[in-house]
Structure 1
Amino acid sequence: MTVADTEADRPGGPAAPAHRRRSDGFLRRSGTFLVGTLLRTLAQGVLFVLLAREMPIEAYGLFVGVTALVAVVSPFASAGAPSLIFQSYADAPAEWRRHLARGLVLTATFGAGAAILVTAAGVTIWGGQVRLVDVAALAVADLLAWRLVEVVAASVQARGRVFAASLIPALLHVCRLVAAVVLALAATGPLALHAWAVTAVVVSGAVCLPVLWYGARGPGRLPVDVRGSFAQARTGMLFAVGLSAQSVYNDLDKVMLSRLGSPEGAAVYAAAYRVVDFAYTPARSMAAVAYPRFFEAGRAGPRAALRLTRSLLPKYLAFSVPAALLLVALAPTMPLVFGAEYAAATPALQGLSALLVLKSLHYLAADTLSGSRLQGRRTVCQIAVGVVNAGLNVWLIPAYGWQGAVVSSLVCDALLVALLWGLLAAVVRRDRPAAAVAPHPASTRERD
């Protein structure tokens, strides 16, 4: 507990209810995390707009397809290492170095394999439209370098250093943006996909190395334990499969649009989806701060985790509902931001704005299940929705283009909300009230 958390308990100080102090602490940590998350999202958003304006729309549509394919596979690149770190730290905080080492081993191994798989799949899907070296470079940048950075950030956050954990991923994306600006200024014509792919992998590797040093710094060496790392792989893959299924209904539509529809349609849809993703940043910060808490609360069972969920739900809705309405109102500005070729992104954004509310609802239920050590059930629901999403895309995209992708996305997110909350209700009904498990002493955590 920080000094600010205990201020009200000092002699002579105003006494506030415990639930209010916890709520204030959560909002403060969420605000702290938002600084880094907003910086990262801004960098990603500006980079997205810059590449959209500097690349020919056909090349940009292919780029969107490749990066979406990378995103679908990316959860397997770390074998669920970030979630494993949060779960392991909740049970044994003193062994954080071992948890980090295992996460890095899993990520280095599975990330390299995922990069090879994506490269082969990309060449198969797009053939001569995209060069093999470009797919490989984009895959290594996101599936290896970025995932290693993500593992370090998870370890730092688990140790209570929320601000540093939010800045670590932001650093990579800010450096990528700076490199893209330099590349665009130096280009004598439209920006080539090959030039950006090579730049991205070089910058990502250069940032990854000092981040690894920062995460592992301290007395002693990281206890590299290959056998122990792979012993956790089975549990980690449950997290990975669930996240991959989540990526399927978030990103598969972009891959299929670039292949079954048109690169132009993929670019329009991706532009609208990126704005929705940017608008979700505050809720994403709240979710990132709350995620480790679900594992701590879930040690006492689903009922305890659900109590945390109930306290967070009003905060999520208080943000997501007004934000969705604001997106509908601001959608006509899309051609001003992305260019006249993106006029169709206005109705696409208006349709996708409801995702802000749907995502807030299903992420809360999903994290409640994960924290309750019911990741397998969460994963089954996400896989089922991923399959439905793929089927709808095969049907709707060839006939309706990006409009079909919008409908598929809305239907699948709504279905996921219904499945996860229904499963959570069933689990809680069967769960007997249990005595609360005492949290680990605050002295075991590092603080900013």
Structure 2
Amino acid sequence: MASAALSQLVTFAILARSLGPAEFGLFVQISAVTAVAIQLCGLGASDCLLRGLSRDPGSYALLLGHNLLLIGFSGGVLVIGGVAAMSSWSRIGSGPSVDMTTLALLFLGNVVLVRVILLVETVFLGLGRVQAANRAVVGFALGRMVAAALGCLVFRVSSLADWALWQCGGNLLYALVGAIWLSPLGRPRFAILRAELRSGLLFCSQFVGRAVRSNIDLLAIGLFTSIETVGSYGVARRIIDSSYLAIDALNRLLYPRLARESRNGLHHALPIAKRALIAALALGVLTGLTLFLLSSTLPALFGRDYLDLPFFVRCLSGSIVLIAAWAAAIDLLGASGRQDVRAGILNGANLLGSVVIAAATSQAAPIGTFIALYAVDGAIVLAAWLALLRLARRSRSHAAEHARASPVMTGP
């Protein structure tokens, strides 16, 4: 996971230096939209894939086919809609223009192909093959770094249009590699699992809301500051987002175990979630402190034109700790099948948070943006743990009542 994070940072550095603040700022804004779209792509079917494989590996073919069908259907709609939306958005912005072919390549590569690539990690995690899952994650990060290095450093790519072609081609190649890795497991069996659609929609809605909240600042700052400032802020956000990898990796590894342990009651998995909280907080504090101390050296890596980068990274570094604080509780709610509660917390916070962040940005960008970001994540911490502890008490009480009501078996 550390190597994957480092590879992503190197990739961002190469792109930031090669594209320059203006073109990279435009890339950041488009990436903000694709980050939302990728959560919609597949309609949350990856959750039933992870849960289903962890409980019944024999369901692989049917679950994979279900995922691929939904990715194909939803991905086509998202590419068409995304190109239309961003064509209109780019015309009202202050940055360079972008053609429809470039937008189509960016949406195809960053939404549909990336969602297919992520299936490889999900399959291996569900089957308990952690090393193979890690290989998929690290391989994808290294693949993107190699594509950026070849395109920008060897072939001198310096425009977003050229990079869109390189990125889409690289993601397509890695998706084919992922298909080869999965081929020994058998062919997919194409069918839509209607019973899983509601759960999948609830699952993806949480991440759509989180993606909107996580990227609304990038779009809003573009309306109230220069595109060069968007470039610096976008680099800082990319750095912070990459720093979540260790925490996300920890929770992804624990998710199948949480699903198994909570099968007979959510309270059975609560001790694991509490231990995960301690580990995640330790990772968050260490990562945030490291970024804060190293922030002054970042312009040398990403480019001297990114003048505001150290300030932005210092302001955002503490948010990693808050993400670590609520991640374990949210994951246990999902793994135990309480997607309704999880969706209520995340969707409510993300919906209201997006409004708060946009309003704060419009009034006092970027300081207002930072204050709003911390307030929203702090609210999620409180809501997630209060809900989880309440459900755990209820689960424990129901288990005790069931034990008292069950007849006691005695010998002759």
For the criterion TM > 0.5, the same-fold answer is yes
Which of 87-96 and 299-308 deviates more?
A: 87-96
Q: 1:224 is matched with which residue?
A: 189
Alignment of 1:49-64 (within 5 A): 49-64=13-28
CA apart distance, 1:213: 2.9
Relative to structure 1, the CA distance from residue 380 to residue 246 in structure 2 (aligned partners, 3 Å threshold; closer, same or farther) is same
Question: For the Cα contact (< 8 Å) 2:322–2:377, is it kept in 1?
Answer: yes
Unaligned residue ranges in structure 2 (runs of 5+): 401-412
Unaligned residue ranges in structure 1 (runs of 5+): 1-36, 437-448
CA distance in 2, matches of 1:290, 1:216: 26
Q: 1:156 is matched with which residue?
A: 124
Question: For the Cα contact (< 8 Å) 1:348–1:406, is it kept in 2?
Answer: no
Q: 1:274 aligns with which of 238, 244, 257?
A: 238
Alignment of 1:199-214 (within 5 A): 199-214=166-181
Alignment of 1:37-436 (within 5 A): 37-127=1-91, 129-187=97-155, 191-218=158-185, 221-228=186-193, 230-433=194-397
**Aligned residues: percent identity?**
24
Deviation track 1:362-389 (CA, whole Å, cap 9, x = no partner) reads 1111101101211121112111222222
Taking structure 1 as the reference length, the TM-score comes to 0.83
CA apart distance, 1:162: 0.8
Question: For the Cα contact (< 8 Å) 2:61–2:189, is it kept in 1?
Answer: no
Matched pairs, number: 396
Question: For the Cα contact (< 8 Å) 1:261–1:398, is it kept in 2?
Answer: no
Give the SS at the match of 2:43.
Answer: coil
CA apart distance, 1:82: 2.2
Give the SS at the match of 1:232.
Answer: helix
CA distance in 2, matches of 1:373, 1:295: 8
Q: 1:444 is matched with which residue?
A: none
Give the SS at the match of 1:118.
Answer: helix
Matched residue type, 1:98? L
Q: 1:29 is matched with which residue?
A: none
Question: For the Cα contact (< 8 Å) 1:266–1:402, is it kept in 2?
Answer: no
Relative to structure 1, the CA distance from residue 403 to residue 303 in structure 2 (aligned partners, 3 Å threshold; closer, same or farther) is same
CA distance in 1, matches of 2:286, 2:55: 38
Relative to structure 1, the CA distance from residue 363 to residue 143 in structure 2 (aligned partners, 3 Å threshold; closer, same or farther) is same
Which of 369-378 and 113-122 deviates more?
A: 113-122
Give the SS at the match of 2:192.
Answer: helix
CA distance in 2, matches of 1:61, 1:43: 20
Give the SS at the match of 2:396.
Answer: coil
Give the SS at the match of 2:158.
Answer: coil
Question: For the Cα contact (< 8 Å) 1:297–1:371, is it kept in 2?
Answer: no
CA apart distance, 1:260: 4.1
Q: 2:404 is matched with which residue?
A: none
Taking structure 2 as the reference length, the TM-score comes to 0.90
CA distance in 1, matches of 2:212, 2:326: 15
CA distance in 2, matches of 1:327, 1:172: 24
Relative to structure 1, the CA distance from residue 175 to residue 91 in structure 2 (aligned partners, 3 Å threshold; closer, same or farther) is closer
Matched residue type, 1:345? L
Relative to structure 1, the CA distance from residue 133 to residue 374 in structure 2 (aligned partners, 3 Å threshold; closer, same or farther) is same
CA apart distance, 1:139: 0.8
CA apart distance, 1:52: 0.6
Question: For the Cα contact (< 8 Å) 2:21–2:232, is it kept in 1?
Answer: no
- The ranges of structure 1 where at least 4 consecutive aligned residues each deviate by more than 6 angstroms after the TM superposition are none
Question: For the Cα contact (< 8 Å) 1:62–1:258, is it kept in 2?
Answer: no
Matched residue type, 1:420? A
Q: CA RMSD in A?
A: 2.1
